[in-house]
């Protein structure tokens, strides 16, 4: 039984935490949230230089080859500080899609750029309301040109490469890789609940694009990419939920009402105990996801779904009860509580909401049970 990260990876965690404590304070998050920038470029470059972006990318493609467990650690630490960088989009979605579906030429051409932070990738599955659904993707790739519309696309304003859930000439589901720097692309920034992770609408009008993976496999590939991302994002969510509990606990120890710390009242104590319980369940499920992702286990879908559901619910609970514990102060722009409240909901929606993953989880249980 060895169900925890190795000492080496825990050192990576310490290193990441120290770096982020200096380079990703709430001031940095706010400069993106309140300003014109769509991400913190200095932090992004720093992350690339430290080898974090390429943590799970094999060395032959310019990565650090630490495997997915290493990337899980990075994701958790970024989640703790609500980092304003396109990490989820570029690394957890686009780079994972290329590693999973790309041929060796595509991997060689694309992954180095992602690892170096030179290219920002993203993945566009949504077309307005709804969760991922088979045969629902309308953009068409015809003769190397993509036409159609996607929204919301995470970091769609800053990305230069976009993996698009689409169909080919024959109407078969495919993943297409579009070059957003080329012509025929209109990007419209969207007002969102968390401007520190911007979203865009992208209209493709004959945008140069190539196919990623086999024709007809698009839906299966998308699901596999989302499974992988679900584990990584679960760690990001877990990091955020952990920070929320720490903030709420610290405030409950310091803030006095009726002559004693509010943390002495059971309504607050039991609320925070419930947050602790949810966070620990989420952590344990996320670890199982990390194991499944790292080893390529057949249980990946089930593990990823459980990790996703647990982490989404834990982060939502922790972030809303953090505000509640802070009282009026928690509702202000000046307090940091809302950075996490926004992020928890954003991450909970970005690859399909909890309901979608619960359904996926039970479908897995059914097939496993039938086998």
Partner 1 sequence: MDFDDTNEEAAFRAEARAFLAANATLKSVAKPVSRGRHIRAEEITRAKEWQAKKYAAGFAGITWPKRWGGRELAPIYNVIYAQEEELYAVPRGVFEIGLGMCIPTMMAYATPEQLERFVGPALRGEEIWCQLFSEPAGGSDVAALRTRAERDGDDWIINGQKIWTSGAHYCDYGIIVTRSDPNVPKHAGLTFFFLDMKSPGVECRPIKQISGTSHFNEVFFTDVRVPDAQRLGAVGAGWKVSITTLMNERLAVGEVPRPDVEDLLALTRMIDVDGEPAIRNVAVREKIADWHCRTQGLKFTRFRTMTALSRGQTPGPENSIAKVVNASKLQDIASYGLDLMGAAGMVMDPELAPLHALFQEGLLFSPGLRIAGGTDEILRNIIAERVLNLPADIRVDKDKAFNQVAHGKR
Query: Nearest approach, Cβ of 357 to partner 1 (angstroms)?
Result: 8
Asked whether the beta carbons of 221 and 200 are under 8 A apart, the reply is: no
Contact characters 35-74, partner 1, x per CB under 8 A: ----------------------------------x-----
Which is nearer to partner 1, 40 or 313 (by Cβ)? 313
What pairs with residue 166 in β-bridges? 174
Pick the binder of partner 1 from 211, 243, 306, 322 (CB under 8 A): 306
Q: What is the DSSP string of 221-253?
A: HHHHHHHHHHHHHHHHHHHHHHHHHHHHHHHHH
Structure tokens at 163: 């993996």
Would you say the C-alpha torsion 99, 286, 290, 292 has a positive or negative sign? negative
Nearer to partner 1, 72 or 180 (CB): 72
Inter-axis angle of helices 218-254 and 300-326, to 10 degrees?
Answer: 30
Task: Supply the minimum distance, in Å, between the C-beta of residue 76 and partner 1.
Answer: 14
Stretch that binds partner 1, among 79-87, 126-134, 214-222, 301-309 (CB under 8 A): 301-309
What's the distance, Cα to Cα, between the start and end of the chain in Å? 26
Q: Does 361 help bind partner 1 (rule: CB under 8 A)?
A: yes
Residue from the set 108, 182, 355, 367 that interacts with partner 1 by CB under 8 A: 355
Identify which of residues 225 and 314 has a Cβ nearer to partner 1 in the complex: 314
User: Cis peptide before 170, with omega less than 30 degrees from 0?
Assistant: no
| Selected binder of partner 1 within 58, 206, 208, 264 (CB under 8 A) | 264
Contact between 27 and partner 1 per CB under 8 A: no
At residue 305, what are phi and psi to the nearest 5 degrees?
-65, -45
CA 369 to chain centre: 30
Beta carbons within 10 angstroms of residue 304's beta carbon? 31
Contact status: 371 vs partner 1 (CB under 8 A): no
* Residue with smaller CB distance to partner 1, 303 or 335: 303
Q: Which is nearer to partner 1, 31 or 284 (CB)?
A: 284
With binding defined as CB under 8 A, does residue 129 bind partner 1?
Answer: no
Q: 187-193 long-range CB contacts below 8 Å, 24 or more apart?
A: 187/156, 187/157, 189/157, 190/151, 190/152, 192/152, 192/346, 193/342, 193/345, 193/346
Q: Token pair of 245, please?
A: 């509990």
Q: How many residues bind partner 1 (CB under 8 A)?
A: 49
- By CB under 8 A, tell whether 190 contacts partner 1: no
Bridge partner residues of 141 (DSSP): 146, 168
The reply on whether position 206 binds partner 1 by CB under 8 A is no
In this complex, which beta carbon is closest to partner 1, that of residue 2 or of residue 104? 2
Residues that bind partner 1 (CB under 8 A): 1-5, 69, 245, 249, 252-253, 260-261, 263-264, 266, 268-270, 272-274, 276-277, 280-285, 287-288, 290-291, 294-295, 305-306, 309-310, 313, 355, 357-359, 361-362, 365-366, 369
């Amino acid at each position: 039984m060895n169900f925890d990260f190795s000492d080496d990876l825990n050192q990576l965690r310490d290193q990441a935490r120290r770096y982020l404590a200096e380079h990703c304070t709430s001031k940095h998050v706010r400069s993106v949230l309140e300003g014109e920038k769509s991400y913190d470029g200095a932090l992004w470059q720093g992350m690339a230089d430290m080898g974090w972006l390429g943590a799970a990318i094999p060395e032959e493609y310019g990565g650090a080859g630490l495997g997915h467990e290493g990337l899980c650690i990075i994701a958790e630490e970024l989640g703790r500080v609500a980092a304003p960088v396109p990490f989820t989009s570029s690394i957890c979605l686009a780079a994972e899609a290329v590693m999973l579906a790309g041929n060796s030429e595509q991997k060689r051409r694309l992954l180095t750029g992602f690892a170096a932070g030179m290219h920002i990738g993203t993945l566009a599955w949504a077309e307005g309301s709804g969760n991922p659904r088979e045969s629902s993707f309308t953009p068409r790739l015809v003769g190397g040109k993509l036409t159609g519309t996607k929204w919301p696309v995470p970091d769609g304003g800053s990305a230069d490469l976009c993996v698009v859930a689409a169909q080919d000439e024959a109407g078969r589901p495919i993943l297409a890789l579009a070059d957003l720097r080329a012509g025929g692309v209109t990007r419209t920034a969207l007002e969102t609940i968390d401007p520190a992770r911007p979203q865009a609408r992208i209209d493709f009008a004959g945008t140069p694009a190539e196919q990623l993976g086999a024709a007809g496999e698009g839906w299966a590939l998308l699901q596999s990419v989302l499974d992988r991302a679900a584990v990584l994002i679960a760690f990001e969510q877990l990091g955020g939920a952990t920070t929320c509990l720490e903030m709420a606990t610290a405030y409950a120890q310091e803030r006095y009402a009726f002559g004693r710390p509010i943390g002495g009242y059971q309504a607050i104590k039991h609320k925070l105990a419930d947050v602790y319980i949810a966070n620990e369940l989420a952590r344990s499920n996320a670890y199982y996801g990390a194991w499944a992702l790292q080893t390529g286990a057949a249980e990946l879908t089930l593990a990823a779904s459980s990790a996703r559901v647990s982490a989404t619910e834990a982060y939502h609970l922790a972030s809303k009860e953090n505000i509640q514990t802070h009282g009026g102060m928690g509702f202000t722009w000046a307090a940091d509580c809302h950075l996490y409240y926004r992020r928890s909901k954003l991450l909970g929606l970005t690859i399909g909401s909890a309901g979608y993953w619960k359904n996926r989880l039970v479908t897995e249980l059914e097939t496993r049970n039938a086998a």
